[in-house]
Amino acid sequence: QLQLVESGGGLVQPGGSLRLSCAASTEFTLDYYVIGWFRQAPGKEREGVSSISSSDGSTYYADSVKGRFAISKDYAKNTVTLLMNSLKPEDTAVYYCAAGWPPISPSQMAFDYEYEYWGQGTQVTVSS
């Protein structure tokens, strides 16, 4: 079964940057999946942040992160990276990587029920 591992979380000051990575267990390739990043803050529901489809390169970004976050796929390293710039305190959450079978249209990429596999999450804290 596909296993996902997130890394790169931590504590950063407002306005700073972090790079999150999602890696797959070695016997699997992420090439066939739609990969999404979700986050959940204390007391809030999990929300879709950004997703990328390998089949056509389509992407999704939540309105709250457009222009600040960028998702990309590294086929050589079998990872998906979420570059987060201009971080705000409201970005504080546990960030999860998820994989789903295509096709998932961009309008559906924000919904967690589209994804079958989930990582354990990595904490991102934005605070001065």
Q: Write the CB contacts of 111 (distance below 8 Å, at least 6 apart in sequence).
A: 48
- At 126 the pLDDT is 98
The alpha helices in 1-128, defined as continuous H runs, are none
Determine the Cα–Cα distance for residues 113 and 44; give it in Å rounded to an integer. 17
Average pLDDT for residues 56-76, to the nearest whole number?
93
Strands 122-126 and 10-12: parallel
- At 30 the pLDDT is 85
Average pLDDT for residues 117-127, to the nearest whole number?
97
- At 57 the pLDDT is 85
Determine the Cα–Cα distance for residues 28 and 127; give it in Å rounded to an integer. 36
Q: Is 80 exceeded by the pLDDT of residue 91?
A: yes
60's tokens? 């999704």
- Burial per residue of 61-88, b for 16 or more beta-carbon CB atoms within 10 angstroms, e otherwise: bbeebeeebebebeeeebbbbbbbeebe
- At 55 the pLDDT is 79
